[in-house]
Amino acid sequence: MGLPVAMPKGREAAAPHDLPAPYLLFLGDVTEAGFAKTAFGLRDWAADRCIGEHALPAATVTTGLRRLTPREAAEAGARAMLIGVANQGGVIPPAWMPELIAAIDAGLDLIAGMHTRLSDIAPLREAAERRGTRLHDVRVPPPGLPVATGRRRSGRRLLTVGTDCALGKKYTALAIARGLSARGIDATFRASGQTGIMIAGAGIAMDAVVADFAAGAAELLSPDAAPDHLDVIEGQGSLFHPAYAGVSLALLHGSQPDMVVVCHQPGRDRVLGAPGFAVPPIEAVIEQTIMLGRLTNPDIRCVGISLNTDGLSPQDVERVTAETGERLHLPAADPMRGGPSFERLLDACRG
Amino acid sequence: MGLPVAMPKGREAAAPHDLPAPYLLFLGDVTEAGFAKTAFGLRDWAADRCIGEHALPAATVTTGLRRLTPREAAEAGARAMLIGVANQGGVIPPAWMPELIAAIDAGLDLIAGMHTRLSDIAPLREAAERRGTRLHDVRVPPPGLPVATGRRRSGRRLLTVGTDCALGKKYTALAIARGLSARGIDATFRASGQTGIMIAGAGIAMDAVVADFAAGAAELLSPDAAPDHLDVIEGQGSLFHPAYAGVSLALLHGSQPDMVVVCHQPGRDRVLGAPGFAVPPIEAVIEQTIMLGRLTNPDIRCVGISLNTDGLSPQDVERVTAETGERLHLPAADPMRGGPSFERLLDACRG
C-alpha cells in the first residue's frame, strides 16, 4: 500500500484464464445434486463447451449429457476434463485419482476450481508433464496483476450487485448477456468467480486476488472495447457483508459500470455466514452502490432488479415482482423465469 | 466467495507476525535518505527494539545508532538483522548477500518487508536452515487467515483513515498510542503494513492478504481485549482511492472502530498514483467512513483530524490547524509537531 505500483518491475500484466473447450464434465462419485451445481451450471449456460459427462460407478447424479470415458471424449474432440462437483473439504478424494490420471493419459487438460490446487498434487503434475497436457486451477489468479489506475475505458459495462452473497449475481449476468445477445446486441459475460470462469472459458476469481490488486484485476476483466460493446460483469459478495464488502467495492471500482442490476432474494433476511447481520433493503444497496461507484464512473445508475424467486409459488412470484418494480420504479424480474418482466429488464439493460 | 468459510477445514487461525528483537538495522549501500525511511522509522518509533546499525562501506546515510558488525550485534544481544532500506525494484542486490549471510552465520534472524521474499532466495534459505535461524518476510500474511464474522469484540478501537494513501496514517496511530500510553492509558499500536509491523514487532500486512480474507485479517489484528483497553490501528489506503478502497473498507469493517481519526495533507490535491482523481474533502471522508463503518460498529464516530504539515512554515501550520479544527468542530493537530493542539486531539482519543 502507498506505492502507486506495487509489483516488481518488468512483469507483464496478465491475461485472464483462457480455458480449452469442449469439456468432459467429471462428476466423481456424487450422490447429492447440490454438490454438482458446477456441472449443472455448465450444462445450462455453456452447452456448446460441454461434450459429455464421466462419473464413477458410485455416482447417482447425472447432467443428462452423454456418458463418455476420457478416451472416448478425447476422440470426440474434448480438450479438457472439468471437475464439476464440489465435495466437503474441497479436496480430491483418492477414488478420483485414477480417473484424473486416465483423463491426462487420454491427452485431456484438467480444469478445477477447488481450494486444493491440481498443480499441488504431485501425481497429477507429473502425469501432465509426461503427457504434455495442462492443469487449470481457475481459482488461481493470473500472475502479474496490475494495481488499478482508475482510467476510464472505452465500451459500456453492466455489473450485477447484490443484497447478499450467493443469491444469483452470476446467473443474472449470464441471463442478461444471453438475452441481449439474442437481440443482436454485442454483449459479453465477464466472469469473476470460478464457476463463471468455467462457463465463459475466461475470467478472474476476484476472491482469490491479493487485496492490493483486486481493483486492478477488475480493470483487466473488462478491457477497452468498441463504443457500443457491453460487458456484463458477474458481481461478487455485497457491500453490506462484513467479510466481503472490500471485494465488492474493489470489483465495483475496477468495473466502473455504467449500469448496475441489484440482485435480491425475497424472504432472505439474514446475511449468509453472518447471521448477526440483516440483509439490507434493495433501496440501501442502490444508494450505496451509486454513491461509491461514482468514484470511477460518475454516470453509474441502477437500471433494474433481479429477483431470485426460487421456491416461491407462481402467484407469489408475480406479486413480489410487481411490488418490487412499483416500489422502486424500476423493472424487476426473475431472469431464471423469463417472460415479459424479464424482457422489460433487458430493455433497460441496453443502456 | 459465497461460502461463509472459504478455508480448508482443519487449518488454525494464525497469529500475526511476532518478530524477534532487538534488531540490527541493515542499511545496505544506501546513499539517499529517502530509501532508508524504514530504518529512520524504527529508530524514531522503536528505539527499544534497535541495538545499532550496519552498512556497507559505500553507504553514506546513517541513523546515528552505533555501528556494529553482525557478530558484535549478536554478542550485544541482537536477535535479528532487519533490512531497513528499500531499493529500486524491491530486490536484494548481490553486494548485500555476503552481509546477509554473515548475519545468519552470527546467529541472527533476518527480517525484511520487500516484494522479494527472503525465503525465495536459496542461499539465504540454506544458510538459515544450516544455522537454525529464521527468515521473516513481514509482507507475507500468516497462513490460515479466517473469513470475517462481524462479531463484536470486547475492548475499544481507534482506526486512522485518510483522504489519500501515504500521508501519515501510520505515524498518527503511533503518536496517538504513544501519547495515550504516556498518560497511563492502556493503548496498543496495531500494525497493518510492513514498516508498522517492524516497529510493533507484530501485525499483518493488509495489502498482501487475499481479498476474501482481508476483513478476517483485520479482525485478527485487534482481538478481544479488556473493556478499557484501546487498540490504535494503522489505517491503509483510502476509501476514495480507485485502487485501494477495497482494502480500506475491509480494514474498516474488520477493525470495527469506535473512533476514527482522519489523516490529511493540506495542499495535496491529486490522489497518489491516480492523478485523474481529486483528493476528497475531509468532510467527505468523515461522512463515508462513518456510513460504511456503521455496518460493524453502529457507534463509530470521528474524534479528530491529523494534519501532515510537512514542509509548511510555522505560521501556516498554526493557521491550517486552527482553520481545520474550526471548520469541522473537531480537534485538529499535526502529531509530529506535538504541542497543545495534539494534547487536545489525545483528549478526544481517550473515548
User: Could you report the per-residue pLDDT of B128-162, keeping only the tens digit for each?
Assistant: 999 999 999 999 999 899 999 999 999 999 999 99
Q: Write the residue in B211, B274, B288 that is nearest to A149 by C-beta.
A: B274
Please determine, for residue A2, whether its predicted confidence score (pLDDT) is greater than 70.
no
Q: B208: distance to nearest CA of chain A, Å? A: 6
Which chain B residue's Cα is nearest to A139?
B1
Which of B309, B300, B301 is CA-nearest to residue B333? B309
Whether the predicted interface score ipTM is above 0.95? no
Q: What gap in Å lies between CA B14 and CA B19, rounded to an integer?
A: 15
Secondary structure string (H, E, C) spanning chain B: CCCCCCCCCCCCCCCCEECCCCEEEECCCCCCHHHHHHHHHHHHHCHHHEEEEECCCCCCCCCCCCECCHHHHHHCCCCEEEECCCCCCCCCCHHHHHHHHHHHHCCCEEEECCCCCHHHCHHHHHHHHHHCCCEEECCCCCCCCCCCCCCCCCCEEEEEEECCCCCCHHHHHHHHHHHHHHCCCCEEEECCCHHHHHHHCEECCHHHCEHHHHHHHHHHHCCCCCCCCEEEECCCCCCCCCCCHHHHHHHHHHHCCCEEEEEECCCCCEECCEEEEECCCHHHHHHHHHHHHCCCCCCCEEEEEEECCCCCCHHHHHHHHHHHHHHHCCCEECCCCCHHHHHHHHHHHCC
- How far A237 CA lies from chain B's nearest CA (Å)? 6
Span B19-23, average pLDDT:
96
Cβ atoms within 10 Å of A15's Cβ, excluding its own: 12
What pLDDT was estimated at residue A9?
33
Task: Tell whether B123 is within 8 A of chain A (Cβ).
Answer: no
Is pLDDT at A195 greater than 80 in this prediction? yes
State how far the Cα of A125 lies from the Cα of A101, in Å rounded to an integer: 10
Do you know the residue count of chain A? 351
**Partner-chain contact B1 A276, CB within 8 Å:** no
- pLDDT reported for residue A351: 78
> Chain A interface, mutation test: which of B145, B212, B239, most A Cβ atoms within 10 Å?
B212
Interface of A with B in 175-194 (CB under 8 A): 193
Residue A1 parent element (H or E): none
Confidence of residue A151 (pLDDT cuts 50, 70, 90): very high
**Of A251, A39, A335, which Cα lies nearest the Cα of B249?**
A251
Q: Which of B147, B248, B274 is opposite residue A150, by nearest beta carbon? A: B274
Closest CA to B3 of A248, A316, A349, A164: A164
Length of chain B equals 351
Are the beta carbons of B150 and A242 separated by less than 8 Å?
A: yes
Cross-chain residue pair A295–B150, CB shorter than 8 Å: no
The pLDDT of residue B12: 39
Tell me the C-alpha distance between B148 and B6, whole Å: 10
Name which of B88, B148, B277 is nearest A243 (Cβ-Cβ): B148
**Alpha-carbon distance B250 to nearest alpha carbon in chain A (angstroms):** 5
Q: What is the per-residue pLDDT for B221?
A: 97
What's the maximum distance between 2 C-alpha atoms anywhere in chain B? 61
What pLDDT score does B5 carry?
32
Round to whole Å and give the CA distance between B82 and B201: 11
Segment B267-284 mean pLDDT: 95
User: B96 pLDDT band (50/70/90 cuts)?
Assistant: very high
B167-196 mean pLDDT:
97
The predicted model gives B79-91 an average pLDDT of 86
Q: A46 pLDDT exceeds 50?
A: yes
| Helices of type H across A192-339 | 194-200, 214-221, 245-255, 282-293, 314-328
- Kindly report, residue by residue over A106-132, the tens digit of the pLDDT: 999 999 998 789 999 999 999 999 999
pLDDT band at B340 (very low <50, low <70, confident <90, very high): very high
B11 vs B280, which has greater pLDDT? B280
| Residue B290, phi then psi, degrees to nearest 5 | -65, -45
Residue A68 three-state SS? coil
Third-level CATH fold of B156-349:
Rossmann fold (3.40.50)
| pLDDT category of residue B15 using cuts at 50, 70 and 90 | low
Topology alike, domains A17-137 and A156-349: yes
**Nearest CA to CA, how far is A311 from chain B (Å)?**
20
* Topology adopted by domain A17-137: Rossmann fold (3.40.50)
Cα dihedral across residues B57, B63, B68, B74: positive or negative: negative
- Name the pLDDT band for A13 (thresholds 50, 70, 90): very low
Grid cell at residue B238: 483510502
Give the pLDDT score at A341: 97
A121 in contact with B at a CB cutoff of 8 Å?
Answer: no
Instruction: Check: CB of residue B251 under 8 Å from CB of residue B191.
Output: no
Q: pLDDT band at B17, cuts 50/70/90? A: confident
Say which amino acid occupies B212: D
> How far is A107 from A125, CA to CA, in rounded Å?
14
> What average pLDDT does the structure give for chain A?
93
pLDDT for B18 = 85
CB contact under 8 A, B90 and A8: yes
With cut-offs at 50, 70 and 90, classify the pLDDT of residue A15. low
pLDDT at residue number A88: 67
Q: Determine, for residues A165 and B276 on separate chains, whether the beta-carbon distance falls below 8 Å.
A: no
Cβ <8 Å between B244 and A212: yes
Please tell me which of the candidates B115, B207, B253 has its beta carbon nearest to residue A245: B253
- To the nearest whole Å, the CA of B265 is away from the closest chain A CA by 14
Nearest to A211 among B151, B211, B288 (CB): B211
A196 Cβ under 8 Å from any chain B Cβ: no
Q: What is the pLDDT of residue B9?
A: 33
Residue A224 pLDDT greater than 60, yes or no:
yes
The reply to whether B284 touches chain A by the CB within 8 Å rule is no
Q: What is the mean pLDDT of chain B?
A: 93
pLDDT (average), residues A277-306: 98
- Give the Cα separation of B115 and A4 in Å (integer): 14
Report chain A residues whose CB lies below 8 A from the CB of B246: 211, 214-215, 246-251, 253
Residue A7 has pLDDT above 70, yes or no: no
Q: Could you tell me the residue ranges of all domains in chain A?
A: 17-137, 156-349
* Mean predicted confidence (pLDDT) in A293-314: 97
Q: Is B171 on the interface with A (CB under 8 A)?
A: no
